[in-house]
Structure 1
Amino acid sequence: MAAEQIFARLKEDHDRHRELLEKIGETSGDSPEREQLFTEFTKEVKSHAAAEEQALYATMLRKPETTDETRHSVAEHHEINETLNDLAATDMSSSAWLQKFKTLKHDYLHHIDEEEDEHFKDFEKYLDTDDEEQMAKVFDRRKEVEKADAEVTPEKKSEAKE
């Protein structure tokens, strides 16, 4: 599998995430629809990030030319995960939830745009055939396992950030 196919596969997920963010933004209050979409988005993003880290970023960390970009993206994954957990701990009908969601949406869209517009193009230069085959095998397998195990893991309601 060529690098272009791997990056296209990651972009498919990103496009799905963009779609879910739009749909969540169209919901209001503590509705079953918002709950369902947020749960789906959370499981999608957490499983995607774990698979992306194991397949792509583990490979790129071994290449000195891409270490800084890789660390930056992995750090952003951690921040996004923290925000998702905080959102899950926040009352969906509150203005605080909507504000946190808008921040998450902005940060996540920035993250995936940066991956697609900058990182993937840079990474492609340093991948060989072995890297590409390994990444393709690992990504889909890991995402499937992670999605089955992914949870919406709220912090305790009392720990939701103000």
Structure 2
Amino acid sequence: MFGRLVADHDEHRALLAMVEETSGDSPDRRALFDAMVAEMHAHAAAEDQALWSVVLRNPDTTHDARHAVAEHKQIDDLIEELQEADMASPGWLAQFAKLKDKYLHHIREEEQEQFVAAEEHLSDADIKHLLSVFERRKKAEKADA
């Protein structure tokens, strides 16, 4: 389960780097940004349902789950601002840098702290089930995008 989430994070890191290398309101920037947004949204929705909704129920990990879900909302807000902004403006890339910093901070916390804490409180059967839920929900989210 957690390896699957980290694999998505690796893909997100690559997409962030590729978007950052584009310029202006170019077809490349638009396509990469749209792909990144669709991937991040699908991942976050699936992660919230599969993992954080379960982790939230355990008093030992409730704080981590709340923190992760709150950061998903902050990231969504930054994405929304970027979607509304003019990609050709110099400020767009500066705003994108804020999103990148926030997202990299978020996934670093998940990978190094929150996933570790969650894994300690989940059985192997729980983890297998959560992976199945994650895959199903992510596929549905991407289909709806």
TM norm. shorter chain > 0.5: yes
Q: 2:93 aligns with which of 98, 117, 132?
A: 98
- The two structures, once aligned, show a CA RMSD in angstroms of 0.8
Using the alignment, how far apart are the partners of 2:127 and 2:13 within structure 1?
A: 26
Structure 1 unpaired stretches of 5+: 1-5, 151-162
Q: 1:44 aligns with which of 24, 39, 42?
A: 39
Give the C-alpha shift of residue 22 in structure 1: 0.5
C-alpha distance 77-43 of structure 1, shift in aligned 2 (>3 A): same
How does the TM-score come out when normalised to structure 2? Answer: 0.97
Give the C-alpha shift of residue 149 in structure 1: 1.4
Alignment of 1:115 onto 2:110: yes
Amino acid corresponding to residue 53 of structure 2 in structure 1: A
Structure 2 unpaired stretches of 5+: none
Q: 2:28 aligns with which of 30, 33, 48?
A: 33
Q: 2:5 aligns with which of 3, 10, 21?
A: 10
Q: 1:131 aligns with which of 97, 119, 126?
A: 126
Alignment of 1:143 onto 2:129: no
Higher deviation after alignment, 130-139 or 141-150: 130-139
Aligned to 1:159: none
The answer on whether the counterparts of 1:59 and 1:131 sit within 8 Å (CA) in structure 2 is no
Deviant stretches of 4+, over 4 Å? none
Amino acid corresponding to residue 148 of structure 1 in structure 2: A
Matches within 5 A, 1:45-84: 45-84=40-79
In structure 1, the residue corresponding to 2:87 is in which secondary structure?
Answer: coil
In structure 2, the residue corresponding to 1:65 is in which secondary structure?
Answer: coil
Aligned residue pairs total 145
